[in-house]
């Protein structure tokens, strides 16, 4: 059976995470529990499997498939701890949107910059106590399946010595129809897999093998459907 609701974290446990910026964390949870979580459960009738697999402390790289602009807050809401995602630098110049994505843990990355810039920003988020979210293919796919996984997540996990948490999003490609700005009330399913150990090195072959394993795990969960 799915976890119908994600339990609200104990406030004292939030206080104990001394490396997390407390004000940002409080605002993050206020937005999550007042807006994102109610919408997911009431509007999208979300099903969540495997929430017990999420480590609630320590460095963590959360990886998933990607089919919708709504995916970052969906993943973050379901894994029971703050997850930071990279976002295009241009988005931080848009009023209201900039405040919203900052509140939800986004960090800016300049278009066309070297991967090391994104890695450095992600490592800083991990140092501040956030988990970091990475879409394994980097871009959205029309059916939510991963066909061309990138090694960036494995490289980040190796540098941060962080375990990897695979997450499958099912149904998010149907939230927005082409040309529409109104989210459709489609049923969603999120499956959270077992933690995968961080790679022992940044060796290209090891990173590639781990990346393929991660893709297979996520696609396998996605194939389970609703």
Per this entry, what is the length of the chain? 226
Cα separations (Å) of 13 from 20, 51, 127?
11, 17, 18
Position 9 scores a pLDDT of 42
- At a CB cut-off of 8 Å and minimum separation 6, what does 48 contact? 2, 3, 4, 6, 78, 189, 190, 192
Phi and psi, residue 148, nearest 5°: -140, 70
Spans of the chain below 50 pLDDT: 4-20
Give bridge partners of residue 192 from the DSSP assignment.
167
Query: Each residue of 78-133: pLDDT tens digit?
Result: 998 889 998 878 877 877 667 777 776 788 777 656 567 888 889 999 998 899 99
Strands (E), the chain: 47-49, 61-64, 83-84, 86-88, 107-109, 131-135, 164-170, 189-192
What confidence score (pLDDT) does residue 16 get? 38
Q: What pLDDT does 105 receive? A: 73
Which tokens in the block code for residue 164?
């990897």
Domains of the chain from N-terminus onward? 11-222 (3.40.1130.10)
């Amino acid at each position: 059976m799915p976890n119908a609701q994600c339990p609200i974290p104990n406030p004292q446990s939030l206080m104990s995470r001394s490396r997390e910026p407390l004000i940002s964390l409080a605002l993050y949870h206020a937005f999550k529990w007042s807006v994102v979580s109610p919408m997911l459960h009431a509007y999208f009738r979300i099903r969540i499997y495997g929430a017990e697999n999420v480590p609630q402390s320590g460095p963590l790289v959360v990886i998933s498939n990607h089919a919708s602009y709504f995916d970052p807050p969906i993943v973050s809401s379901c894994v029971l701890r703050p997850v930071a995602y990279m976002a295009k630098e241009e988005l931080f110049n848009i009023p209201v949107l900039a405040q919203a994505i900052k509140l939800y843990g986004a960090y800016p990355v300049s278009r066309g910059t070297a991967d090391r810039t994104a890695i450095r920003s992600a490592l800083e988020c991990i140092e501040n106590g956030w988990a970091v979210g990475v879409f394994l293919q980097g871009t959205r796919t029309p059916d939510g399946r991963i066909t061309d996984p990138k090694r960036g997540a494995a490289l980040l996990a190796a540098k941060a010595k962080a375990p990897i948490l695979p997450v499958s999003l099912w149904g998010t490609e149907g939230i927005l129809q082409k040309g529409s700005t109104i989210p459709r009330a489609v049923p969603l399913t999120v499956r959270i897999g077992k933690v995968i150990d961080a790679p022992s090195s940044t060796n290209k072959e090891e990173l590639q093998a781990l990346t393929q394993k991660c893709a297979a795990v996520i696609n396998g969960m996605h194939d389970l459907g609703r």
